Amino acid sequence: MISYIIEKCGEKKELCLLHQENPSLSQEEIGKKFGPKLLILRNIEGFTGSAGWLNNFKKRHNIKQYNKHGEAKSGPGEEELAKEREKLRELISNFDLEDVFNCDETGLYWELEPSKTLSTGPLSGTKKSKNRVTLLLTFNVTGSIKLPALFIHKHQTPRDLKGIDKTKLPVDYFWNKSAWMQTSIWNKYLELLNQRMKRQNRKILLLVDNAPVHSVSNPELLTNITIHYLPPNTTAHLQPADAGIINSFKVCILFIIN
């Protein structure tokens, strides 16, 4: 998985550079160079935003940026990343790979229409839907165990769920008026996860980013979970959920919805 992502990022970088340096090139001319890979590459992070993608690529791979005063800015250095990777290897070595889990949340704008379309005539502008839910996906590093997603809606009981027992849904259902993750929800989810692991007589390592919302209120209650926080600015390098897994999940969900 990691080698695949690195390969695709390299190709994506090449495509964006070509587009930046030759803005007059047509899709057909670019297609001749990249062939069937073009469709895949365009869908990684958006082909038309090549400048933005290149900036993000530089940040992820520690390529120096410069502020308006000409001072160099950079993300985590290779030495820092190497130390963290070594720390992770040592920590993971104390667990079976099937007991090493990662989780991360994402927003799903389930009513958002495509920003581009084919048209034979003028179209009036429409307001984009901001209806969203938050999903937290948890899975082990081998991909053999995918736990029920944590699902956060802005309503306690949406119209479509009236009369339905939410405890029997294939997700862990939570709600708040913003549909965002909250520390209280995160801690309740950890309690549920700890109970699941207890029933399975399993002790796991859980890798998460260091967002403030992921703070643990009662660590002594997590008898079957060891939490390891990834250092700041390293999740793009170290977190498996960011390596295309969340994107693949959302593509499948939106395909089913539509």
One domain, residues 57 and 181: no
What is the residue-averaged pLDDT of the chain?
A: 75
One domain, residues 37 and 94: no
pLDDT at 125: 60
Q: What's the average model confidence in pLDDT over 163-178?
A: 93
Which segments of the chain does DSSP mark as H helices, in order?
2-21, 27-34, 37-45, 50-60, 78-92, 183-199, 235-238, 245-257
Task: Specify whether the backbone of 56 is left (phi greater than 0), alpha (psi in -120 to 50) or beta.
Answer: alpha
Higher pLDDT, 150 or 37: 150
Q: Judge whether residue 60 has pLDDT over 70.
A: no
* 185 in a structural domain: yes
One domain, residues 82 and 40: no
One domain, residues 88 and 48: no
* 2 in a structural domain: yes
- When divided into structural domains, the chain yields a total of 2
Tell me the residue range of the domain where 38 lies: 1-61
Q: What's the average model confidence in pLDDT over 20-38?
A: 62
Q: Judge whether residue 217 has pLDDT over 90.
A: yes
Higher pLDDT, 195 or 250: 195
Q: Rounded to whole angstroms, how far apart are CA atoms 102 and 138?
A: 6
pLDDT at 85: 83
Strands 133-140 and 100-108: antiparallel
pLDDT at 232: 78
One domain, residues 145 and 207: yes
pLDDT at 166: 92
